[in-house]
Amino acid sequence: MQPITLKGRRIVEGQCKAEALVSKKPISFLGGVDPADGKIIEKGHELCGECVKDKVLCFPHGHGSTVGSYVLYSLVKKNLAPKAIINQTADPVVVVGAIIANIPMIDQIDIKQIETGDLVEVNVCKGIVKISKRRES
């Protein structure tokens, strides 16, 4: 199967290739992600219990307090951060966090085309995301 290529808006420069972790719901980094282990802890969230470490974290947008930006930064300092962030709509809290943590970020991407487990190549400099669908076993 050929990779799917999507074009988006560049937010924080960088590139990576990693497995996707996808949420249909917004994510709050303050109170929604445990800064001690990088796991999503928001009660009732579809990704509750999943770890963001080394994933391409895909979600519609962020929500919550501006302290969430610092949580993203602290995840990087503890080597627990996502490799990149893909949003449908960039939220200022997530953007500031990605900037200070130097996490590649792109938005205006149709995240409905990405599934958890897909291999995703993010190249923010080119403004593209390539998705290789995971193989069904």
Q: Which two tokens stand for residue 75?
A: 């995840």
* Candidates 65, 74, 132, 137; catalytic one: 65
Burial 35-74 (b: 16+ CB within 10 A, else e): beebbbebeebebeebbbbebbbbbbebbbeeebbbbbbb
CA distance linking residue 61 with residue 55, whole number of Å? 16
Q: What is the mean pLDDT of residues 99-127?
A: 97
**Helical H segments across the chain, by residue range:** 67-77, 92-101
- In the residue annotation, 74 being an active-site residue is answered as no
For residue range 46-95, what is the model confidence (pLDDT) as tens digits?
Answer: 999 999 999 999 999 999 888 999 999 999 999 999 999 999 999 999 99
Q: How confident is the model at residue 135 (pLDDT cuts 50, 70, 90)?
A: low
Homologous superfamily of the 4-132 domain (CATH): Phosphohistidine domain (3.50.30.10)
